[in-house]
A = this chain, B = another copy of it.
């Protein structure tokens, strides 16, 4: 009971701080997610120390980002995703290879580090944490864009590739060699998961939704949708994928035709309620100390630079035909490492492969890429939308995207 009381006070503080700073952020023409993360930094251990990250808040944040990605999946059509499949695959592969080589190369040649250290550094650079980008795209009402779908698809594939890279790297670091059996197991589980979702769950849901009686449909649809969301998230997490990949797939296969808006209207408030806890908790995990360590400042800057440029370069290289702005948008959208980079570094730390200082470099890089991306995304989208409005209307009208209020 004592714990519940403290958690309630913490939740209240997180919610209010995130919403207020998110609102101020929007007034300054920045995505509200920036304010929400800064709210977490402010009330968290780094600055005021009013709220400590706890196990409960961690899991609630995980649940929140699951609902966020489920909602994004609901808004995106599977067929539209398939359409950008090859492009997304290309962006993901190049966006995994370049950061891996850059991270590993920097440690191996720049720092004269040993092979396992270099490999772990490479693996930590690979991750894409798509929650932040998805939120910005959704808030600005731009999820239906080709670039947005490419980013979402590439992030899902990136997660699978990152899982494989991590399995290989961990095998080399612990056993001295890639464990091909483990790797085959991971690949098999992933293929089975995706195939199961598309071949079994999707047709089942389609058949179910056709049988729904029209009036009683909404509560039942909400129940089945939430059950799918929780089930596929748990399943994805079980095989080592990010839970949000499962949630996104769940959203993708829920197709209710003209009843879809009613379902989206029900999932919306659940997301509005939970999602601020995710972004505030991202901020609460920021250790400002990691940035101001003079010994590692140079290394942090180098790693951060490589982390940014390699993802953006992946966008440029693969999506160049879409034009400069669009390919940059895709690259920047893949940039936030979020908690995923930190998890990989933490695994390296606990295996004794990388040391504290390299760990804090990765943490600083993960946080910086996460905070830097949203304003750039918004600026590029503003330009793109202005250009398109200009080319349609034959004039350079100042159309500026506005966040959708209280998101």
Contact = CB atoms under 8 A, between A and B. Distances in A.
Interface of A: 1, 3-5, 7-9, 11-12, 15-16, 19, 55-56, 58-60, 62-63, 66, 216, 218-220, 222-223, 226-227, 230-231, 233-234, 237-238, 243, 265-270, 272-273, 343, 405-407
A243 to B, nearest CB: 6
Nearest to A221: B406
A59 B7 contact: yes
Contacts of A267: 269
B227 A12 contact: yes
A4 B56 contact: no
A216 B402 CA distance: 13
Contacts of A63: 8, 11
**Interface of A (DSSP majority class):** helix
A227 B19 contact: yes
Given A219-B405, A227-B16, A406-B223, A238 B269 contact: no
A225 to B, nearest CB: 10
Contacts of A60: 60
A17 B340 CA distance: 32
28 contacts: A1-B343, A3-B55, A3-B59, A4-B59, A4-B237, A5-B238, A8-B62, A8-B63, A8-B230, A8-B237, A9-B238, A12-B230, A12-B234, A19-B223, A19-B227, A55-B56, A219-B406, A220-B405, A222-B272, A223-B406, A265-B265, A266-B269, A266-B272, A267-B269, A269-B269, A269-B270, A270-B270, A270-B273
Given A230-B11, A234-B9, A270-B269, A405 B216 contact: yes
Contacts of A231: 12, 16
Contacts of A58: 4
Contacts of A268: 266, 269
Nearest to A1: B343
B234 A8 contact: yes
Nearest to A61: B4
B406 A5 contact: no
A403 to B, nearest CB: 10
Given A8-B66, A8-B243, A219-B405, 8 more contacts: A3-B55, A4-B58, A4-B62, A8-B62, A8-B234, A11-B234, A12-B233, A12-B234
Contact of A4 (B243, B270, B273): B243
Contacts of A220: 405-406
Contacts of A216: 405-406
A16 B379 CA distance: 43
A300 B276 CA distance: 46
A227 to B, nearest CB: 5
Contacts of A62: 4, 8
A230 B15 contact: yes
A54 B1 CA distance: 13
Contacts of A218: 406
A216 B407 CA distance: 12
A70 B220 CA distance: 24
Q: 10 smallest A-B Cβ distances: which pairs?
A: A219-B406, A12-B230, A8-B234, A5-B237, A266-B269, A9-B234, A219-B405, A12-B231, A4-B62, A270-B273
A222 B276 CA distance: 13
A323 to B, nearest CB: 34
Nearest to A230: B12
A73 B195 CA distance: 46
Nearest to A60: B60
Contacts of A273: 226, 270
A321 to B, nearest CB: 38
Contacts of A3: 55, 59
A374 to B, nearest CB: 19
